[in-house]
Amino acid sequence: MRILVVEDEAKVARALREGLEREKYEVVVAPTGEEGFFLVNAEEFDLVILDLMLPGRDGLQVLATLRKRGLQTPVLILTARDAIEERVRGLDSGADDYLVKPFAFPELLARVRARLRRGRVEQSPNLRLADLEMDVVTRKARRSGQNLELTAREFELLEYLLRHKEQVVSREMLARDVWKETARATPLDNVMDVHINRLRRKVDEPFERKLIHTVRGVGFVLREEE
Amino acid sequence: MRFRPRNVRSRLTLWYVLVLASLLALYAGVASLFLFLSLREDFDQNLLQDVETVEGMLTKEPNGGVSLHSSHPGAAEPRIGRLIEVWSPQGSLLYRSAELQDRTLGGPPRPDEGLRDPSPSTTRLPNGAPVRLASSVYHVEDQRVVLRVAYNEERLWRELGEFGQVLLLGFPIALFLAGFGGYALARKALAPIDSMATQAKTISAERLGDRLSIETPEDELGKLGTVFNDMLGRLQTAFDQLRRFTGDASHELRTPLTAIRSVGEVALQDQRSPAEYRDVIGSMLEEVDRLTRLSESLLALSRADAGHIQLQREDTSLVHVAREASSLVEVLAEEKRQRIDIEGNAELLVSVDRLILRQAIVNLLDNAIKYSPAESRILVRVQSEGDKQVSLDVVDQGPGVPSEHQPYVFDRFYRVDKARTREWGGTGLGLSITRWAIEAHGGGITLKSEEGRGSTFRISLPLAKYSSTSQTKGGSQ
């Protein structure tokens, strides 16, 4: 899987490269719009991550030209929040998705996975991790064969974490996907903490092996090892 | 190109002079007409008297002609401008004044001439000169004659002309004086505006505390000055708020930045285990998260101020929105073993953007939960206020807000207890955003609180059928 990152800010570019390479993607960084444009014409990529604010040729122009030439590669745009109109323009000019700066890295990873997965047959996720298993049809969750008594919200939260097992899930992702809130306000953070704590009490506390982990400053992850 | 004086003073004067000139012209016209009529009346009177005089002077000549003789010395003297013709009824000319030379006053007499209306009429000599003519029938001894006496109208016109000249000479002087007076008057009337302008020029953004001096608050200019001063007052408030806001915002930014910096610097001072580094980085990321949320909130408020947020209004039960908000945060209340009770008529509808209103209520509930003691009760009460408004109260049993803080709780970054609120991760913008959300819907929010006896936040909104259907644009300050 090859990803082209067009980003002029060196620190961000480096972080993106390292983060994505750690996830076993092959990453090429282009620091300018021109270079990105050249690379995408010359080589094959599975995904382009494009910053909109670039020196010289700006991201939107690059994107529009590429789409005009019939390039089908999915493009994920990075943009600033105060440019709602820009986002719309971005999607008009052929972007597949956008992410608002400053974005959380787990969120970026989730979007990248979603983009690369699209178009293929989605294997039904195995809602199982170690001795935890969930059945979304009967809405039952069991650990080591014992039924877990979960509220509706707790079930949704655990299901989301399980579907993203071994991936860090940010608070933004939870706010949007579990709570369906567009704005992540302070009260919601506290609400999340309460729910995670309750979930821990039911899922982890009675058992030896802990599955729910907090990644400080980033989010939460469901995985086997510490 | 149209002539258009640059200042109001000259324009006023110009109009004044124009109006005066047309009035004077009208006056002159009417006066001349009356003068003319009365002059002609006198003229005709003289003419008729003269006809009688001339009759007395007619003398028959032996040759059958007629001549003029008078017992009064000088009366027979040919008067300048007096023209006489004497005709026999048969049409033969008996006498003609020398002044007429060979011109005639109308040729042979008509059969009824001089018999009827004695009043004079205007006729013209063959050379075109207008004359006033009176005819009469008279018997000189045994002969019947037709006598015509005419005055040249020149005299009449000359007198009228003299009158006109006097007027024409006077007009420019009158107009000049009036214009001058008008200009001086306008200048005096407009002088306060000049002085206001001079004072206003010295009022800059840094000196918004200055006001215009107003001598006569009652008159039009005084009112203008008062309005201007009021506007300055509002501007000053806005500037002060902006200044305080900028200061507070930079302070709010500095706090997490300081934390990030010192945590990072301290961590780099000596070798640590990977777990410790993780902890340090995590702690830094937490501060970054706070900064991110702060910038998002600021952006939301600035977009709201700029009126960029469009409300997606729909008719919604206020009680239902309150229930949604409550279900979102009720776990927080449960943690403190608090109870949130929602009372009210679910049929009270408001036309609102559901998400934005819910966020506003969530903020109020979150506040109530934070400040209320454990095991207390938080009451959300929806009730109609008259038949156009509906109110939603959030009543808590917390410590209340001291009265000196109450006017400011909706201000951006205002914190009643600075250390505590930050510890809870608040940005200090929650209530500002709430107020914006309510005001954007055409409503209002107030706080009623007594220290030690809890707080009541009251949201008032127009009922659905009374709220304006147009998209309300935001902007709270």
Q: Do B332 and A186 touch (CB under 8 A)?
A: no
Q: Do A186 and B283 touch (CB under 8 A)?
A: no
Q: Which residues of B touch A216 (CB under 8 A)?
A: 278-279, 281-283, 285-286
Q: Is B379 on the interface with A (CB under 8 A)?
A: no
Looking at residue B29, the DSSP 8-state letter turns out to be H
CA distance B196 to chain A (A): 42
Sheet with strand A26-30: strands edge to edge: A26-30, A2-6, A47-51, A75-80, A97-101
So what's the pLDDT on residue B474? 40
d(CA A103, CA B385): 45
Q: Which residues of B touch A182 (CB under 8 A)?
A: 355
d(CA B131, CA B122): 6
Q: Of the candidates A82, A194, A218, which has its C-beta nearest B335's C-beta?
A: A194
| Segments of chain A assigned to CATH 1.10.10.10 | 128-222
Percentage of residues of chain A with pLDDT beyond 70: 89
| Segments of chain A assigned to CATH 3.40.50.2300 | 2-117
CA distance B390 to chain A (A): 26
Backbone torsions φ then ψ of B173, nearest 5 degrees = -65, -45
Q: Give A28's strand partners.
A: A4
**Contact by Cβ (8 Å): B131, B148:** no
Helix axis angle, B220-267 to B154-201, nearest 10°: 20
- Greater confidence (B181 vs B74) lies with B181
Coil, helix or strand for B468?
A: coil
Q: Is A70 on the interface with B (CB under 8 A)?
A: no
Q: Mean pLDDT over all residues of chain B?
A: 83
So what's the pLDDT on residue B137? 84
Q: What is the mean pLDDT of residues B237-266?
A: 85
- Greater confidence (B72 vs B446) lies with B446
Q: What Rg value do the Cα atoms of chain B yield, rounded?
A: 51
Q: Is A191 on the interface with B (CB under 8 A)?
A: yes
So what's the pLDDT on residue A199? 93
Q: What is the mean pLDDT of residues B110-114?
A: 76
Quick: pLDDT tens for A187-196: 888 899 999 9
Q: Of the candidates A82, A102, A217, which has its C-beta nearest B286's C-beta?
A: A217
- Greater confidence (B264 vs B217) lies with B264
Quick: pLDDT tens for A126-141: 688 888 888 888 888 8
Kindly tell me if the per-residue pLDDT of A219 is higher than 50. yes
ipTM of model: 0.76
Alpha helices in B134-202 (DSSP H): 154-201
Q: Give B93's strand partners.
A: B87
So what's the pLDDT on residue B477? 35
CA distance A2 to chain B (A): 29
Q: Is B278 on the interface with A (CB under 8 A)?
A: yes
| Interface with chain B: mutation pick from A101, A198, A216, A221, highest number of B CBs within 10 Å | A216
| CATH at residue B235 | 1.10.287.130
Q: Which residues contact B322 (CB under 8 A, 6 or more apart)?
A: B342, B344, B361, B380, B382, B392
Confidence of residue B473 (pLDDT cuts 50, 70, 90): very low
| CATH at residue B349 | 3.30.565.10
So what's the pLDDT on residue B3? 64
Quick: pLDDT tens for B325-368: 999 898 999 999 999 999 998 889 999 988 889 989 999 999 89
Tokens of A178: 């579990």
Q: Do B425 and A217 touch (CB under 8 A)?
A: no
Kindly tell me if the per-residue pLDDT of B475 is higher than 50. no
Quick: pLDDT tens for A140-185: 888 988 888 999 889 999 999 998 888 899 988 898 888 888 766 7
Tokens of B349: 């509808």
d(CA B12, CA B182): 8
> Which among A93-102, A126-135, B272-281, B413-422 has the top mean pLDDT?
B272-281
Q: Do A216 and B289 touch (CB under 8 A)?
A: no
Quick: pLDDT tens for B49-98: 888 888 888 887 777 777 777 666 555 555 666 788 888 888 888 888 77
Q: Of the candidates B285, B299, B430, which has its C-beta nearest A217's C-beta?
A: B285
At which residue do the structure tokens 């982990």 appear?
A213
Tokens of B244: 């305080």
CA distance B301 to chain A (A): 11
Q: Is B286 on the interface with A (CB under 8 A)?
A: yes
Q: Do A81 and B282 touch (CB under 8 A)?
A: no
What would the CATH number be for the domain defined by A128-222?
1.10.10.10
CA B196 from chain center: how many Å? 18
Is there a single domain that holds both residue B143 and residue B61? yes
Q: Is A130 on the interface with B (CB under 8 A)?
A: no
Q: Position A219: which residue type?
A: G
Q: Is B329 within a domain? A: yes
> Which among B48-57, B75-84, B414-423, B430-439 has the top mean pLDDT?
B430-439
A190 → chain B, closest CA residue: B332
What would the CATH number be for the domain defined by A2-117?
3.40.50.2300
DSSP string computed for chain A? -EEEEE---HHHHHHHHHHHHHTT-EEEEESSHHHHHHHHHHS--SEEEEES--SSS-HHHHHHHHHHTT----EEEEEETT-HHHHHHHHHTT-SEEEEESPPHHHHHHHHHHHHHTTS--PPP--EETTEEEETTTTEEEETTEEE---HHHHHHHHHHHHTTTS-EEHHHHHHHTS--SS--HHHHHHHHHHHHHHHHHHTTTSSS--EEEETTTEEEE-S--
Kindly tell me if the per-residue pLDDT of A121 is higher than 60. no
So what's the pLDDT on residue B469? 44
CA distance B229 to chain A (A): 36
Q: Is B169 within a domain? A: no
- CA B298, B300, B301, B304: dihedral to nearest 10 degrees? 160
**194-223 in B: which are within 8 Å (CB) of A?**
none
Q: Smallest Cα–Cα separation from B10: which of B185, B183, B188?
A: B183
Is there a single domain that holds both residue B385 and residue B323? yes
Q: Smallest Cα–Cα separation from A175: which of B359, B300, B357?
A: B359
Is there a single domain that holds both residue B421 and residue B444? yes
CA distance A153 to chain B (A): 10
Q: Is A182 on the interface with B (CB under 8 A)?
A: yes
d(CA B115, CA B92): 18
Kindly tell me if the per-residue pLDDT of A224 is higher than 50. yes
**Contact by Cβ (8 Å): B253, B294:** yes
Q: Is B274 within a domain? A: yes
For residue B393, the surrounding DSSP H or E stretch is: strand B389-395
d(CA A102, CA B288): 10
Kindly tell me if the per-residue pLDDT of B186 is higher than 80. yes
Q: Which residues contact A101 (CB under 8 A, 6 or more apart)?
A: A78, A79, A80, A81
Q: What is the mean pLDDT of residues B278-286?
A: 90
Q: How many CB atoms lie within 10 A of CB A52?
A: 24
Q: Do B282 and A215 touch (CB under 8 A)?
A: yes
Q: Is B409 within a domain? A: yes
Q: Which residues contact B371 (CB under 8 A, 6 or more apart)?
A: B396, B398, B399, B455
Q: How long is chain A?
A: 226
So what's the pLDDT on residue B167? 84
Q: How many CB atoms lie within 10 A of CB B212?
A: 19
- Greater confidence (B221 vs A108) lies with A108
Range of the domain at B265: 220-304
Is there a single domain that holds both residue B286 and residue B327? no
The residue from B304, B335, B351 where one domain ends is: B304
d(CA B300, CA B298): 5
Q: Is B362 on the interface with A (CB under 8 A)?
A: yes
CA distance B421 to chain A (A): 11
Q: How many CB atoms lie within 10 A of CB A225?
A: 8
Is there a single domain that holds both residue B57 and residue B92? yes
CA distance B332 to chain A (A): 6
Kindly tell me if the per-residue pLDDT of B26 is higher than 80. yes
So what's the pLDDT on residue B376? 93
Q: Is A102 on the interface with B (CB under 8 A)?
A: yes
| CATH at residue B61 | 3.30.450
Confidence of residue B476 (pLDDT cuts 50, 70, 90): very low
So what's the pLDDT on residue A161? 92
Q: Is B50 within a domain? A: yes
Per the structure, how many domains does chain B have? 3
